Structure 1
Amino acid sequence: MADTPHSPDAESSLIAGESLMPEDCAPDRAAPLAESVACLWEEGERVFRVGVVGTGPGFMALLDLAFNPRFHDFLPPVEVVGVARPGVNPAKLDYARSKGVPVYADLETLHREHPELNMLVDLTGERAALRQARSLLGEEVSLVDQDAAIFICGMHDMAKANTSSQDDLDRQRHLLQAIVDEIREDVMLLDLEGRVVDMNRNVWRRTGHTKEQLLGKHCWEVLTKRDGKPFCVRYDPACPLRRSIETRTKDEALFTRVSAGGRLLYYRIYSYPIFNRAGALSHVMMMHRDITARTHREQSLQQTEKLALIGEMSTYLAHEIRNPLCAIGGFTHALLRSPNLSEKELEKVRIIAEETQRLDQMLSNILNFSKPGKPPQGEVDMVELVSGTVELMKVGYESVGYEFVFEAESELPRVRGDAESIKQCLVNMIKNSLEAMSGGGRIRVCLTREFDFVRLGVEDNGAGMSEAEQDKAFSPFYTTKAGGTGLGLPMIKKLVEEMGGHIDLRSSPGSGTGIYLYFRPVLAGVPLKDGRTPH
């Protein structure tokens, strides 16, 4: 993660009452924290213009400190204005000249050419040279002899070690950032007010903004769904962030959202508290995971298991209930033919007969639903089948306020399936749309190619479905209709999947519903040796 103004380490030191600076530089407790840095360089604006006498030990370290930009953050501004009494070391002198440092034969010339000199470093080791320098330069120029110059080497070595450590830290930080950026989930580091301190690449790329533009905003202003739309419009009390702050423990929660296209999305959000060295909660890391595909797989597996159980139950029910049901139906029809019953008694017997028939039909539906189907072998012309079915539905419903629109792409391939099963699915889908628009409305039936599938869609402008209704739409026996069996959509799903396709539902309250069936096209045969291709 990138550095932040209030890192956990710095915060923990302040909370624990520890200073991040040596004791001799520690500010007065009554002074503002910002003034504490002034103790490092009390004359921070001063430029040290340094002359060097001799090229003994420490010469190269001094030049490196002055000219290597890696060390500029650790020292005040230093300029080496010239070198006097250079001796015989061509390599050192060539390096000095390459940095633009002039070389003079003696100290007098150096002083005359550079009256701005305010520090002299003597690397000759001669006491007489120091006395000469003091008498020549006066008290306004600081002198550093060869013994004291050892501190220059020490500073140089410490600065090298520091920059090396900083380089290592930067490499580790970049490596960690690269790893976090490759995580597929959204990862955010938040402060205790829910503001974003850092985030991985997934988060900011989806928003269309840069990372810098989003830092400091609240998480609910940054987090988005897979389509880039806001995940939250305000702080959600059910969010794990709040519970992690209150309980100081990790937390998680499941959320459902509807995409811009009306698809139901599933997300799981995890929150992990982060503590500083003093044990105080300082940040919360949040992970935002899109589990839509996984949830659909789990639901499909659960439905398969449920269907297997229904199959076992239906076999038992067919045996245990149908036999007495047939007896009830037989006696009821016999009573209906009896001349000894009054009209009121006949009406009651008719009701018994109708309910017996309804129970028998319900048992048949359950048996058909649970019975495994055979893989379809036929080829279906979808345009012909769908257009004919829509025309048939128009006859019965256009006169009572329903408008039908049929659209089909050109050159659609045939699909592998059973024509009667597909027609049954389409009729049930249209009936669902009719029931969703009790006062009339528009139903659009469309045939398109979607990647490797032929897609049949039925769209209405009815009331739409809530997230909870979408979540249970394909569950057997779940229904919102009075007298419904809850097997309509599950049966459609079963038939389509048996034909090698799949089903998709898109809906949102007030915006209508679209149900889309995907069928596999019939593949062309392998070309024959004479170049012909079998149909």
Structure 2
Amino acid sequence: MAFDSPISHQLCPLILWAASVAFANVTLVERRGRREPLDPRRQIEIRTVLESMPEAVVIVNTEGCIIDANAVAITLAGLNRERLIGMSMSSFARHMGDAEADRNVVPFQKPIIGRALAGEVVHGERRVVKPPPTGTPVQLVVSANPIRSENGEILGALVVARDVTELAHLQQRLADIDRHQAIGHVAAGIAHDFNNTLQTIAQAVAVLQLSPDRPLEERKVFLNMIENAVRRGAEVISRIRDYLRSGTNANSDVDVKSVLEDAVELTRPMWQAAQGVAVETNINPTPRIRGNQADLRRVFTNLIINSLQAMPNGGKLIVGCDESDRSVHVWVRDTGQGIAPELAKQIFNPYFTTKPGGTGLGLSGAQKILLGLGGNISFQSEPGKGTQFDIYLPKAADGKQ
């Protein structure tokens, strides 16, 4: 299942704009190719269409050189029209950022322009550029369409780029809000659990203070209680620290069994405090996978929290993992309210939520993370009976456990 970004939906009206511009520019490219003069009124019409578009628009010929651009593209590039027109797209890519310093520079010619000139329609590809003079990163969604003559001959390509920097920043802030909400759920339970740990220490210390002359063997019992309580407290703090640690793009070999056990322990105070909730674990040793441990911990924890919230009147939570062919299978199952059939197709959509105050980014973010690791997530649900989420992650190359 492909990750359905809300930014990609912004391109729907853009495609309609692109169609009208492409039609107008078939005439432009054909006439220029034959060195025929273009009717001034027709030229004004084409220029009006180009300049009315809110996106950056660049038109290239079959040699990959820019033959026209609108004002938005010129502003984005930081060049005047005379310098931009006639520039090759490879030179334009170098101008828009240093490929050696940042591999995420717009590589127009091969991945986008080359494909468009070969006849492919390219939709909504994400790129980050650093246009001069500031070099400030700009996030773009880029589409490209081949321009064809009446007999189907490719005359050039139309490239449309939308600046989605602000939208991407907003999406990141919403994702942070969703993460903080999950942290709040976990922290509320952890605080209660940690308070119990402190009470154990306080009670043991009080007994020792009341009877300082107890034999050493009796005092050892209470000292062991204190030591165990301190160890439990340290484990709680360690899990919280690991949960709060931001995921990075750096992947490593990950023990899924250990990460899933962490998620169960992080949510233990929640399901222990919930009335009528029974928890069953079937967490088996599995081969390691390539991934980011912090990201996976959050995915598993959020799925468990979702399941607990789906059982306000009690039920059963089942969490497990096992080896499955060339994958590692993780499942989280509940006997809660289930998901209505009319909502089932929307639950991985960004911003879709049925929770009051929810952001709708938990499951869509989880799907994005898992797809990025070459895995997938799916679910089965029956209203009134419960839901099971299944995650499959490819084993690491060496297959070690």
Taking structure 1 as the reference length, the TM-score comes to 0.32
Bigger RCO of structures 1 and 2 (CA < 8 A, at least 6 apart): 2
Max Rg structure = 1
